[in-house]
Amino acid sequence: MKQIRLFIVAACLLALASPAFAESPIHLNNRLRLGYDDNVYQAGEATASDGSVVTHDETDSFRIIEEIEALVNLNLQRTYLGLRYRPSFIWYSDRENDDTDFLHDVDLNFVQKITPALALSISDTLRASQLPELQDENYVVRANDDNYYNSALATLSYNVLPETRLDLSGRYILLRYTEDANENDNYYSAVGGLTLRQQLASRTTLMGDLRYQTVVYDEAEEAFNRDANSVFAGLGVEQTFNPKLLGSLRAGVEQRMYDNEAADDNTQPYGELSMTFLPSPATRLTGAASYSIYESDVATYLSQNRTYLSLSFAHDFTTKLNFYLSGAYSLNQYEADYALETGAVDADEKSFLLSARLAYRINRINWLEVGYQFIKLDSDLVNRESYDRNRFDIGWKIQLF
């Protein structure tokens, strides 16, 4: 509680300086929320290795969330820098042994136009978590341990002709857990590739993709060797149907080759579809779907086949009242042919996440917010907990400067 009071005092002191920073590209927001969580340990039912079902009782708790949000939005003639850093301190009234969490979210976007035909873009995402969550960016179930995840992407774009562009990209992904018991799930991944984009008309762009990826579980025991290399090849199209409807489609084939000699190469189609509909200036509807081979977060399977669906809706009822609703569903399929244990069976894991938030702007710098989140995980995997979780919160947001 002392840490929460320090956060609040600091926020109030910074608020006094807000008029002096009204035109600054740097902004600082503070959110203070009171919430309720009906299942803080994500308890439910799990299937044991002997086939029996183990049930755990749910524990509910009130919680206080203190969150600082630092934003940088610098837009120069040839340079753009966007930065968002959001540390969050959470206190639980009824979570024994560990009643606090301290989380970190960082998002960075940088674009530099080097010449009229050449540009460099860099983006980075960092998430530091203290309990397993269905992560907002890709809804992956993490092991029950503190962890951090980082994904960095750099793209060099060159306009060969006014209608033709070549993108050369590289991505580096890192996942680390703090406990030695989960070191078999620590990995890094490096991806390199190129995309050729050809604009056929003012509203249509065709794309050709070629990528190579390596995944290394650098701290895993030999019995849990899941290292692999993958090759991707595909085509895509981006279409502006009208000023209110935009869409993109990518599809191709991936071949994943495992270092484990007992496993055959895994060849699967992959696809990504996204649509954005803007029926009015106050309303935005976005949908996405994808299917691909994905890194397994279960140490006894080499990989998973993942289907992912998402839908979000944003609407401004008035200039002061805003509503946001989003949902996501994922189906993670684990195949016995790519299991490291003898006698393993095919298993599915389904997750669903629903979030809603209503915000009312009191004045230029103050908002009231109400939020709700529902999470459901249904797993066939041995010793993986299936559970439901509801979280509610109400809070106050202030733009400090």
CATH number of the domain at 353, please: 2.40.160
**47 in any annotated domain:** no
What is the domain extent for residue 215? 106-399
* % residues pLDDT > 90 (the chain): 72
Choice between 400 and 121, residue whose per-residue pLDDT is larger: 121
Residue 21, pLDDT score: 45
Task: Specify the pLDDT at position 141.
Answer: 59
In contact, 338 and 301? CB cutoff 8 Å: yes
Within-domain flag for 269: yes
Measured distance CA(240)–CA(249) in Å, rounded: 12
Average pLDDT, the chain: 89
Residue 84 domain-assigned (yes or no): no
| Distances in whole angstroms, Cα of residue 49 to Cα of each of 160, 223, 336 | 58, 19, 16
Per the model's pLDDT, the better-predicted residue between 139 and 265 turns out to be 265
- Asked if residue 395 has pLDDT above 90, the reply is yes
Degrees to nearest 5, angle at CA 65 with 109 and 14: 65
| DSSP code for 140 | P
Let me know if residue 213 belongs to a domain. Answer: yes
Is 19 a residue whose pLDDT tops 50? no
Please tell me which residue, 142 or 175, carries the higher pLDDT value.
175
Residue 55 lies in a domain: no
On whether residue 139 sits in a domain, the answer given is yes
Rg of the chain on CA atoms, in Å: 23
Pick the more confident residue, 202 or 58: 58
CB-based contacts of 361: which residues, under 8 Å, 6+ apart? Answer: 319, 320, 321, 322, 367
Domain count, the chain: 1
pTM of the model: 0.86
Structure tokens that stand for 278 in this block: 């803007």
The answer as to whether 60 is a domain residue is: no
Q: Which residue has the tokens 């929460």?
A: 4
Please tell me the predicted confidence (pLDDT) of residue 14: 47
Q: Is residue 351 part of a domain?
A: yes
Sequence-separated (6 or more) residues with CB below 8 Å from residue 82: 72, 73, 74, 107, 108, 109, 110
pLDDT at residue 139, as a whole number: 47
Q: How far is CA 205 from CA 92, 169, 198, 199, in A?
A: 50, 19, 6, 4
- Closest by Cα among 369, 364, 371, 362 to 399: 364
